[in-house]
Amino acid sequence: MKIEKVCNKVFYALFFIAITTFVSCSSDDNTTSFSAVPPVAQDASEIDFTSFRASWSNVFLASGYELDVSTDPNFGSFLQGYESLAVNQLFQSVTGLSLNTEYYYRVRAIVNGVTSENSNTISVETNEEFPDDITLKSATEGNFFVGVAVSEARTNIAAYDEVYTREFSSITAENDMKMESIFTGIDGSGNIIFDWSRIDGLIDYAEANNLNVHGHTLIWHRSIPQALEDFTGTDQEFEDLIQQYINAVFTRYQGKINSWDVVNEAIDDDAGTQWRNTLFLQRMGDNYVEKCFAFARAADPNVKLFYNDYNMTFDGIKRGKVLDMVDDLLASDLIDGVGYQMHIDYNFPSREQIQEATDELVAKDVIVHFAELDVKLNAANDLTDLTDERAEAQRQKVREVVEIFNAIPQNKKYAITVWGLKDDDTWLIPENNGRPEWPLLFDESFEKKPAYLGFLEGL
């Protein structure tokens, strides 16, 4: 028994000496620290369209590891967020990647505060294509609505119908639900004359295809019926007409339209001015926005009420005015959500600007709609035909937008709505005197563009 104890003591003493000797060797005039043993990187696993799992061997006494990921086998640059990424386990999921792209990773161990040399390099290629049966609708199901701007006339065209119903879970009328499309006159008794035909057609189409409907828009300064422009009654009578109009719309479509942009683009772009100078401002006063929201809330308390505006992702002054207005409406329980129109360029605004704007909105007690998404490729008029390079840049920008939206807390998400189906239908071409543009997810032949894949990648 004593011999066994002595042997154990000798063993542990020798082990301690061996470890101490391994860790540092000293002489009279210098000290040489040991080099930590690098891990062995292992083949990637769980390879998907936009992610994979990196793994490596354990290193004795390692307190952690550092992971590098790059598209360059020489690691001259790094994937954002994956340069010396600190990891406290033997694997790491690498996400946010592109389809059909080769990546490289390596890892280092940290032992006793010393970082090892790099491991061997592992290459991995993400999958080339999403499954044939995946769609925008199936990929977002249970997460948020993915919408598209439509016209009633196009729902009756088979090629449009096939894509609308396959890819989208929500529709928004590009023009058919605006006031000028519905409010056609005023009769001799002072009652509004309505044309419900196009909006009825859209509601029937949505119900037949189990689509959500987001109403757009009740009040907008660029869609004013001539009868209102010419109205010579008192300001109070004008206001009564607006209330009559909102009541009629909400009553007719109760339980069929679940949300509405009540007021669109009411904030002026001039930094020194709060309200855009519109007919509604002139006839109803500075609080006309609040009045319209109050009319809508009273007409149907179950409808989600939105304010919608453009340039919100980069114009901090305008955004501040909008968010101040939202605070006032929230104080009276008159608003449920805000739409940030995503009419953006392939190279502007930056991801950081969009993220900052989104964070400011998420901090409010409202749900978020990334509305009217299109990504211009030819704002500088430097293209006559769409190039692969510009299409790829569009793909990355769409992916950024979707990634940012997808990271919003679940209870704050409403929808991402694409402003049109295919490139040759975009409002931007007539708006810009025929300048070529390719801002949407589908080309003129209804074929998916790289931007479509960018949307899926962002999820």
Give the tens place of pLDDT for each residue, 283-292.
Answer: 999 999 999 9
Reported as type and span, the H/E element at residue 249 is: helix 235-252
62 pLDDT more than 50: yes
**Which residue, 90, 89, 119, 91, is CA-closest to 106?**
119
pLDDT tens digits for range 2-56: 444 434 443 443 333 334 334 444 434 444 456 899 999 999 999 987 889 999 9
Is residue 261 within 8 Å of residue 293, measured between CB atoms? no
69 pLDDT more than 80: yes
Q: What is the pLDDT of residue 34?
A: 63
Q: How far is CA 433 from CA 142, 222, 353, 381, in A?
A: 40, 18, 29, 12
Interatomic CA distance for residues 297 and 336, integer angstroms: 10
Interatomic CA distance for residues 105 and 367, integer angstroms: 39
Q: What is the pLDDT of residue 127?
A: 82
| Residues making up the chain, counted from first to last | 459
- β 102-111/62-70 pair status: antiparallel
Interatomic CA distance for residues 276 and 272, integer angstroms: 11
Q: What is the pLDDT of residue 18?
A: 39
Interatomic CA distance for residues 242 and 298, integer angstroms: 13
Interatomic CA distance for residues 101 and 198, integer angstroms: 46
Tell me the average pLDDT of the chain.
92
Interatomic CA distance for residues 93 and 115, integer angstroms: 22
443 pLDDT more than 60: yes
The residue ranges of every structural domain in the chain are 41-125, 136-458
Interatomic CA distance for residues 324 and 266, integer angstroms: 13
pLDDT tens digits for range 213-260: 999 999 999 999 999 999 999 999 999 999 999 999 999 999 999 999
Mean pLDDT of 135-152: 97
The residue annotated as part of the active site, out of 372, 400, 403, 437, is 372
CATH 3.20.20.80 fits 136-458, yes or no: yes
Place of tokens 């430097």: 382
Q: How far is CA 416 from CA 9, 37, 152, 154, in A?
A: 70, 49, 20, 21
Asked about 265 being catalytic, the answer comes back as yes
| Coil, strand or helix at 412 | helix
Is residue 359 within 8 Å of residue 407, measured between CB atoms? no
Torsion, Cα 217 220 222 226, to 10 degrees, reads 90
- Other CB atoms within 10 A of residue 90 CB: 16
Mean pLDDT of 443-449: 97
Mean pLDDT of 368-394: 97
pLDDT tens digits for range 91-134: 999 988 887 889 999 999 999 999 999 999 999 999 867 777 89
Interatomic CA distance for residues 359 and 391, integer angstroms: 28
CATH topology of domain 41-125: Immunoglobulin-like (2.60.40)
Over pLDDT 90: what percentage of the chain? 87
The residue annotated as part of the active site, out of 265, 290, 437, 457, is 265
pLDDT tens digits for range 404-418: 999 999 999 999 999
Mean pLDDT of 371-375: 98
pLDDT tens digits for range 186-209: 999 999 999 999 999 999 999 999
Q: What is the pLDDT of residue 33?
A: 55
Mean pLDDT of 321-326: 98
Is residue 150 within 8 Å of residue 174, measured between CB atoms? yes
pLDDT tens digits for range 332-345: 999 999 999 999 99
Interatomic CA distance for residues 181 and 196, integer angstroms: 9
Is residue 358 within 8 Å of residue 340, measured between CB atoms? yes
Residue 148's region, left for phi above 0, alpha for psi from -120 to 50, else beta, is: beta
Query: Looking at the DSSP assignment, which residues form a beta bridge with residue 146?
Result: 416
Q: What is the pLDDT of residue 9?
A: 43
Q: Provide the pLDDT confidence category of residue 449 given band limits of 50, 70 and 90.
A: very high
Interatomic CA distance for residues 342 and 373, integer angstroms: 4
